[in-house]
Amino acid sequence: MSEQDYKKAAKAIISAGVLPIPINDTMIEILKIIIDPNELDLVLAFQRKKSQTMEQLLKSTKGKKDENEILKKVESLAKNGVIFNQPNSQGVMVFRLLPLIITGVFEYQMMRPLEFSEKEKKLAKLYLKLFNELKEFVQGKYDSFTTAFKSVPPLDRTLPILGKNVEGNEVKISINEEIDAPQEEIVPTQKVEEIINKFDDIAVSGCFCRQHHDLLDDPCKINAPRENCFTFGKSARHIVNQGFGRMVTKEEALKIIKEAEDIGLVHKTYHPNSNVSRDETSLCNCCKCCCGTFNLYKDGVLPTVNLTNYLSKVDQNICIGCGTCVEKCPLDAISLNDDNKAEVDESRCLGCGICAHFCESSAISLLEGKRVVYIPPPKLKS
């Protein structure tokens, strides 16, 4: 297989996702590490159609592969996070090419139990290099990208830490008209406990963001637990089959969730194609310092596009101005005003409830109101 074939494979993988990742030497080097030259032809079979049955794959490989040969290569590629292989609702096995990042190759490779091998460390450094190059790419065409980003659907959905400070009244907040927000009237489950309890198959894996930082010798600043990313249903079965994680009971999952809340992690859940009318596929528990989506926003790479049902509200008559909420907020949506009272920037608030959870004076509550938080990536000084 030639260098050109790797570039074709890179193009196919990029087109499986939503991010405009440049095909450059760094990406090709990553692909050469995770995709054996003998497996490259199977990746190329996904150039036109990203999800295929075995019958379709046999046609896509133009009869040059038999079923056993395809399955052998799929097994290897799946263990490297390149292909997702699980049966659909009719029981038919479907093979899907995964994007490089945002529930793709990067996440699967970084979530497995780390061995701190030279290969893992090299990949971690290459991904960091690629993210930095992506930053330069986006910043170099900032106006074009920020216009295009307005059509991006919510990349994730925030679930609040629900407790004593959640109010029943609803606050009406207009969604940015320029954002293509979901039009479904369905209000998805807002309690993490209910999501955990509705699935029979639950897998837990290492947090790929924190483990990526571990490989870069830049560990989590709050020492958050590593094993607390969840997948559900067929995604959970895939995770376990490929050795990326392990199955847990509902009771163990809820215990891990409680530990995540106690340390101040943000619950973010994901749906197929950002369609909240469909069941959740995964649940992350994110820290402010390591989370990829937080950092890609702060580094000027991606916008924050998040679906939420809550907004923080501060009772300034009670607020003592301690600044804990300012410190904990993952998107710097809270600041202290001239009176040394906390104020919430509604356009940036994810409604995660971290501020309310840690407010010693119980001055912060959560109001209901479905909205999309859209914040374009900052334009960095050259």
Residues 254-268 have pLDDT tens digits of 999 999 999 999 999
Residues written for the chain: 382
236 has a pLDDT exceeding 80: yes
- By C-alpha distance, which of 283, 353, 307 is closest to 155? 307
In this structure, are residues 172 and 369 in contact, taking their beta carbons and an 8 Å threshold?
A: yes
Residue 183 confidence (pLDDT): 42
Residue with the larger pLDDT of the pair 8 and 178: 8
Residue 191 confidence (pLDDT): 87
Reported as a pLDDT band with limits 50, 70 and 90, residue 176 is very low
Helix (H, G, I), strand (E, B) or coil at 152: coil
What pairing do the DSSP bridges indicate for beta strands 266-270 and 282-286?
A: antiparallel
d(CA 241, CA 86): 10
Q: Tell me the Cα Rg of the chain.
A: 21
Domain boundaries, the chain: 3-140, 143-375
Find the range with the poorest average confidence among 39-53, 154-168, 253-267, 306-320. Answer: 154-168
The answer regarding whether domain 3-140 maps to CATH 3.30.70 reads no
Residues 89-140 have pLDDT tens digits of 899 999 999 999 988 999 999 999 999 999 999 999 999 999 999 999 999 9
Residue with the larger pLDDT of the pair 21 and 26: 26
d(CA 180, CA 46): 28
